[in-house]
């Protein structure tokens, strides 16, 4: 197997570390392999969309989810570094409202698997970051929801001092207590 998979404190959220082959020319690694992903991470996931965003330092995107047509997301960074966060928003889960955060960078080449049922967001720690992710469903703006990044009920410890730059829709995000969540 060319990937190593480690569960986080939220066991459905997984860190994926690819085997990187370095030589005099640079490096090579498989950034996605459907067979290994199915065997080691999630056999039901089928990816239908790839996204790419660029963010400057201090930009915080999230916490996002789609209330219907929920998306699983396989996320990574190809330039710079972010702190990537998943929050369990499944009401029936023993981990409801709990979060995990992982540093993802171009250097560590880690990926995070954020399944359906979790809200997702990240803050950019480097001067800028290029963020790539695959999703298991398409974008449905009518089902998009945002939970505010600094909800004290969730208590995410963002490793960023200062006021992050957030979109207006995210600044107006709901608190978990008022948000539509999964069953």
Ligand X SMILES: Cc1cn([C@H]2C[C@H](O)[C@@H](COP(=O)(O)OP(=O)(O)O[C@H]3O[C@@H](C)C(=O)[C@@H](O)[C@H]3O)O2)c(=O)[nH]c1=O
The yes-or-no answer on residue 54 being catalytic is no
Minimum Å gap between C-beta 173 and ligand X is 11
Do residues 14 and 86 touch, judged by C-beta distance below 8 A?
no
SS3 129: strand
Of the candidates 125, 121, 141, which has an alpha carbon nearest to the alpha carbon of residue 133? 121
Can you state the percent helix, strand and coil of the chain, rounding each to 5?
10, 45, 45
Is 72 one of the binding residues for ligand X (CB under 6 A)?
Answer: no
Give the whole-angstrom CA distance, residue 104 versus residue 11: 18
Is 121 one of the binding residues for ligand X (CB under 6 A)?
Answer: yes
Answer for which of 6, 20, 29, 53 binds ligand X (CB under 6 A) is 53
Nearer to ligand X, 69 or 97 (CB): 69
The yes-or-no answer on residue 160 being catalytic is no
**Backbone torsion region of residue 38, taken as left when φ is above 0, otherwise alpha when ψ lies between -120 and 50, otherwise beta:** alpha
Is 101 one of the binding residues for ligand X (CB under 6 A)?
Answer: no
Annotated catalytic residue, options 52, 54, 64, 138: 64
Binding-site string for ligand X from residue 4 to residue 43, where x marks contact by CB under 6 A and - marks none: ----------------------------------------
Contact set with ligand X (CB under 6 A): 51, 53, 61-62, 64, 73, 120-121, 139, 167
């Amino acid at each position: 197997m060319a990937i190593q998979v480690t569960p986080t404190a939220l066991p459905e959220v997984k860190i994926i570390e690819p085997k990187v082959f370095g030589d005099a020319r640079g490096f090579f690694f498989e950034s996605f392999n459907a067979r290994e992903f199915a065997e080691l991470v999630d056999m039901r996931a089928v990816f239908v969309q790839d996204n790419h965003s660029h963010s400057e330092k201090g930009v915080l995107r999230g916490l996002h989810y789609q209330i219907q047509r929920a998306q699983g997301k396989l996320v990574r960074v190809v330039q710079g570094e972010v702190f990537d966060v998943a929050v369990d928003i499944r009401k029936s889960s023993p981990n409801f409202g709990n979060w995990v955060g992982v540093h993802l960078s171009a250097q560590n080449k880690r990926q995070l698997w954020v399944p359906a049922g979790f809200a997702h967001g990240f803050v950019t720690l480097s001067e800028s970051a290029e963020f790539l992710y695959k999703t298991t469903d398409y974008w449905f703006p009518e089902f998009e929801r945002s939970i505010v990044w600094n909800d004290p009920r969730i208590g995410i410890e963002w490793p960023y001092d200062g006021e992050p730059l957030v979109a207006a829709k995210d600044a107006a995000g709901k608190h978990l207590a008022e948000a539509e969540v999964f069953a």
